[in-house]
Amino acid sequence: MRQAHVKIAYHIPVLRDDVLEFLVTEPRGVYVDGTLGGGGHAGRIIERIYPNGTLVGIDADADALKAAKNTLQRFTSNLIFVHDNNANIRAILQALNISTISGLLLDLGVSSFQLDEAGKGFSFRADDALDMRMDRRQSLDARAIINTYSGEQLADVLWKFGEERNSRRIARDIVDCRGTKEIGTTGELAAIIGKRVHEPFLTKTLARVFQALRIEVNNELSSLARTLGDAMGFLASGGRIVVISYHSLEDRIVKNFFQEKSAKSIPSGHKLVPDVPVIPLLRVLTKKPIVASREEQISNPRSRSAKMRVAEKI
């Protein structure tokens, strides 16, 4: 099923120039790239802040760190690589004795490399073991979810994280099939769904189901909320949070977080009681999310769904 192709790059960084323009305000500062990937964005950031600034690059995937270390060799004196979930940003920065950062970048989801690489199981376009763990040290993988969650739990995951309208029926099909034999591969899962849903709807359904499983395996939405919340305690005044998201569930979390932290009052919830004034902590710099130009969308299809939001600590 996998197409033979020449691998051009680990991953083409999305909205690269916009990220740089918004993120780097202090060339002597400490920046955190919480989703280092192949180091595409990181390379541009470090070029901008070298030799006085520092970049902490975090990734949950050991292969991503290996690739980034390779790409960024020239700058290693100003780079700190961390193999961890960015949700642990507080513990990570504390362990490095870093109390203030000038910016945080989150370029969410998985890289092209992770989608293409055999054995990771993120893509329905290849027949791989059902895995989907960014961090191979964790025990929960997609195989465990597919084979041990109850039908109701499975349907909830598909609905909540994939917004899949056929969630109940697909969950029932999965439970029926695994009754005779464990479901072990992405191909087997895709075939079960293919019996229920046909083209022209199948590809989009598969994309939603695989997205939902990936989010559940890697606890992506809770991690995002925690990373944003904990980063606030480290962000210097004038420091920026830049987030690129690729689906509405992520984008909603970012948008709501920025809205909440930039609010000047909390609604009392009652017509006769005045709203409670609060001191805003963030200023939102992107009233509407930034999206990729037409040229970028043509040259890098992955950028089509990207939405970038930026906020600055007051």
Ligand X SMILES: C[S@@+](CC[C@H](N)C(=O)[O-])C[C@H]1O[C@@H](n2cnc3c(N)ncnc32)[C@H](O)[C@@H]1O
Chain residues binding ligand X by CB under 6 A are 11, 13, 35, 37-41, 58-61, 64, 85-87, 107, 109-111, 134, 223
Rounded to the nearest whole angstrom, what is the least distance from the CB of residue 263 to ligand X in the complex? 26
Using a 10 angstrom Cβ sphere, with 0-12 exposed, 13-18 middle and 19 or more buried, the burial of residue 285 is: middle
Q: Dihedral angle at the C-alpha atoms of 22, 28, 32, 37, nearest 10 degrees? A: 80
Residue 196's closest CA among 181, 175, 216, 211?
175
Neighbours of 72 (CB within 10 A): 21
Minimum CB distance to ligand X smaller for 113 or for 124: 113
Q: Strand 54-59: give its sheet, edge to edge.
A: 79-83, 54-59, 30-33, 101-107, 235-245, 307-313, 282-284
Give the 3-state secondary structure of residue 102.
strand
For ligand X, give the closer residue by CB, 113 or 197.
113
| Alpha-helical segments (H) within the chain | 16-23, 40-49, 62-71, 89-95, 112-116, 142-148, 151-162, 167-178, 186-196, 202-218, 220-231, 248-262, 294-299
Single out the residue of 11, 9, 7 nearest to residue 246, CA to CA: 11
Nearest distance from residue 261's CB to ligand X, in Å?
20
Q: Rounded to whole angstroms, how far apart are CA atoms 32 and 105? A: 6
Percent of residues in the chain assigned helix, strand, coil, to nearest 5: 45, 15, 40
Choose between 174 and 217: whose C-beta lies nearer to ligand X.
217
Least distance between ligand X and beta carbon 126 (Å): 18
Alpha-carbon span 79 to 214, nearest angstrom = 29
Instruction: Give least dist CB 206 to ligand X, A.
Output: 20
Cβ closest to ligand X, residue 45 vs residue 155:
45
**Could you tell me the smallest distance in angstroms from the CB atom of residue 33 to ligand X?**
7
Provide the minimum distance between the beta carbon of 169 and ligand X in the complex, in angstroms, as a whole number.
Answer: 30
Least distance to ligand X, CB of residue 140, Å: 14
Q: Which is nearer to ligand X, 106 or 189 (CB)?
A: 106
Q: How far is the CB of 89 from ligand X (least distance, A)?
A: 9
Tell me the longest C-alpha to C-alpha distance in the chain: 66
Q: Is the dihedral of CA 257, 259, 265, 267 positive or negative?
A: negative
Comparison of 40 and 53: residue with beta carbon closer to ligand X: 40
Whole-angstrom distance, CA of residue 141 vs CA of residue 122: 11
Q: Name the residue nearer to ligand X (CB basis): 122 or 205.
A: 122
**In the bound complex, what is the minimum distance in angstroms from residue 182's beta carbon to ligand X?**
27
Q: Does an H or E element contain 56, and which?
A: strand 54-59
Between 109 and 162, whose beta carbon lies closer to ligand X?
109
Which CB, 222 or 268, lies closer to ligand X? 222
